[in-house]
């Protein structure tokens, strides 16, 4: 699997946001650190493991937390942002609200 550059990952994240109707977090430094984390994960594991979560050891085990994770849509609808706060609901982003810590559905028995 060819390595990704930070620019390629930023393009990926922008395309995900555009496709889903989400906004990227307007905090540029914060977003940059998440994009760098995604890039590191791609280059380490060969897939875009969520930059806020640990690998469970294989792509299969991590399947639900490949970005955009299966929890993102529900989190964005409910809280205004995904677990990492890389992607925001547009109205949340334009309101100037600051993302807060939210529960990780990955290990929730409801997920
Ligand atoms: S919480 Fe989900 S959507 Fe947000 S960066 Fe992590 S994997 Fe991507």
Q: Is any ligand 1 atom within 6 A of the Cβ of residue 82?
A: yes
Kindly report each contact of residues 30-34 with a partner whose C-beta sits within 8 Å and lies 24 or more positions away, as own/partner. Answer: 30/85, 31/86, 32/6, 34/84, 34/86
Give the pLDDT of residue 111: 52
**pLDDT, position 110:** 59
- The mean pLDDT value of the chain amounts to 96
- Taking CA atoms only, the protein residue closest to ligand 1 atom 6 is 50
- Residues of the chain with confidence (pLDDT) below 70: 109-111
The atom of ligand 1 lying closest to the CA of 66 is: 7
Domain that holds residue 41: 6-107
Of 50, 85, 93, best ligand 1 pocket probe by most atoms within 8 Å of the beta carbon? 50
Could you tell me if residue 1 is inside a domain? no
Global pTM? 0.95
Query: In whole angstroms, what is the distance from residue 41 CA to residue 93 CA?
Result: 26
In ligand 1, the atom with minimum distance to the C-alpha of 65 is 7
- As for how many domains the chain has, the answer is 1
pLDDT of residue 57: 94
Q: Establish if 62 belongs to a structural domain.
A: yes
How much is the pLDDT for 104? Answer: 96
């Amino acid at each position: 699997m060819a390595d990704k550059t930070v620019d390629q990952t930023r393009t990926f994240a922008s395309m995900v946001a555009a496709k889903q109707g989400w906004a990227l977090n307007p905090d540029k430094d914060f977003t940059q650190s998440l994009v760098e984390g995604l890039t590191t994960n791609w280059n380490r594991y060969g897939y875009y493991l969520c930059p806020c979560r640990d690998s469970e050891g294989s792509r299969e085990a991590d399947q639900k937390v490949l970005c955009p994770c299966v929890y993102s849509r529900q989190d964005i609808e409910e809280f205004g942002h995904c677990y990492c706060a890389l992607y925001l609901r547009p109205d949340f982003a334009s309101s100037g609200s600051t993302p807060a810590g939210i529960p990780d559905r990955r290990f929730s028995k409801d997920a």
